[in-house]
């Protein structure tokens, strides 16, 4: 008797030891497919999708993903329990492994829509949003937040937020180890100016040992992730994993216990990407929508600059296809790539 894949997916225990952060304009379905070729086990996240986009826009396009991306979570932005419940049902029906509520983004357009980090000032509303989603889906409902916002940056404020939201049924929090300054700082400045306070996230885990607590913010390497994993349930990497994606190549062995022999070279990752690129181009996707995500793959190797330049100059042609990527790859000597695996 065959197992229903939907049932198998819902019953699978989520391994959150390493995840890749939801990043606007970056972690689209093309990037996630690429990252999955580098790491088989890391949990991937979509860009934030607003409830309005799903309820009133092209939901199939926003929710589209490849089955190869599993495990993959969908992050929602919103503050209406009713709308979030409807959107969460759509996320589950689309096949995602988790639905995550954004309570951490500090951008102006997020605040104007009454979601993101400003919701840390309304823990009861976040609780109600989580409860509404939990009532209608069987996949995990999680929350990504900051350690605080300006005016609510005491540890007790964060502890009260966690305790309140857990009452709605949330047992998993991804905590960015900076406060969000909602006035006067841009989103970029909010990633750089407020100091990282890793000790606060570790204190949350000590105070809420039954909850799954993952840390986000400033983690650049797998070695740094391993240090945090000695006390925490997970680490979420962001821009470092996007700008230098091959930094994830050892994730499956170092963090998830796979044999190091399964690590792929950069060239082999590109070769595995080619059939996907061909299929996407055949469906009308412009090549540059895909290649913009792979520019950093050969960082640190001789020929990396030629790879980036060739893709940047040639991927915008209307006729560009996988052959452009093959030609770019030929500019990077393979012996330097494979020697690093020896």
What is the sign of the dihedral through the CA atoms of 14, 82, 46 and 194? negative
Calpha distance 59→337 (Å, rounded)? 40
Closest CA to 93 of 68, 60, 69: 60
Q: Would you call 118 a catalytic residue per the annotation?
A: no
Beta bridge partners of 148: 179
Calpha distance 289→214 (Å, rounded)? 31
Evaluate whether 197 touches 203 at the Cβ level (below 8 Å).
no
Q: What are phi and psi of 44, to 5 degrees?
A: -105, 150
Task: Please tell me whether the peptide bond between 71 and the residue prior to it is cis, using omega within 30 degrees of 0.
Answer: yes
| Exposure string for 76-115, b = 16+ CB within 10 A, e = fewer | bbbbbbebbbbbbebbbeebbbbbbbbbbbbbeebbebeb
Q: What is the DSSP letter of 20?
A: E
Beta bridge partners of 72: 44
Closest CA to 106 of 144, 152, 149: 149
Beta strands 43-45 and 49-50, pairing class:
unpaired
Calpha distance 292→297 (Å, rounded)? 11
Q: How is residue 164 written in tokens?
A: 């309140």
Q: Which helix (H) or strand (E) holds 314?
A: helix 304-314
List active site positions: 105
């Amino acid at each position: 008797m065959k197992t229903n894949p939907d049932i198998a997916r819902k019953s699978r225990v989520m391994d959150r030891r390493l995840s890749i952060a939801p990043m606007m304009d970056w972690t689209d379905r093309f990037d996630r497919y690429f990252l999955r070729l580098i790491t088989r086990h890391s949990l991937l996240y979509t860009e934030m999708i607003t409830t309005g986009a799903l309820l009133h826009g092209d939901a199939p396009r926003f929710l589209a993903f490849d089955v190869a991306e599993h495990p993959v979570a969908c992050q929602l932005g919103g503050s209406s329990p009713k709308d979030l419940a409807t959107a969460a049902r759509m996320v589950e029906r689309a096949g995602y492994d988790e639905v995550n509520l954004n309570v951490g983004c500090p951008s102006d357009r997020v605040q104007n829509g009454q979601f993101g980090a400003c919701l840390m000032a309304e823990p009861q509303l976040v609780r109600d949003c989580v409860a509404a989603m939990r009532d209608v889906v069987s996949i995990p409902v999680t929350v990504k937040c900051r350690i605080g916002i300006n005016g609510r940056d005491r540890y007790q404020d964060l502890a009260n937020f966690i305790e309140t939201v857990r009452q709605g049924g949330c047992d998993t929090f991804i905590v960015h180890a900076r406060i969000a300054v909602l006035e006067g700082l841009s989103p970029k400045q909010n990633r750089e100016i407020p100091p990282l306070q890793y000790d606060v996230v570790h204190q949350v885990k000590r105070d809420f040992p039954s909850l799954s607590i993952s840390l986000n913010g400033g983690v650049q390497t797998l070695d740094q992730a391993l240090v945090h994993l000695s006390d925490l349930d997970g680490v979420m990497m962001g821009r470092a994993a996007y700008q230098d994606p091959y930094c994830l190549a050892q994730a499956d062995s170092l963090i998830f216990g796979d044999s190091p022999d399964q690590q792929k070279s950069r060239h082999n990752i590109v070769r595995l990407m080619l059939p996907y690129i061909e299929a996407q181009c055949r469906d009308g996707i412009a090549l540059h929508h895909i290649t913009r995500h792979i520019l950093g793959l050969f960082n640190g190797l001789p020929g990396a600059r030629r790879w980036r330049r060739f893709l940047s100059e040639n991927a915008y042609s209307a006729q560009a296809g996988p052959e452009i990527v093959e030609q770019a790859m030929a500019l990077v000597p393979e012996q330097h790539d494979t020697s690093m695996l020896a």
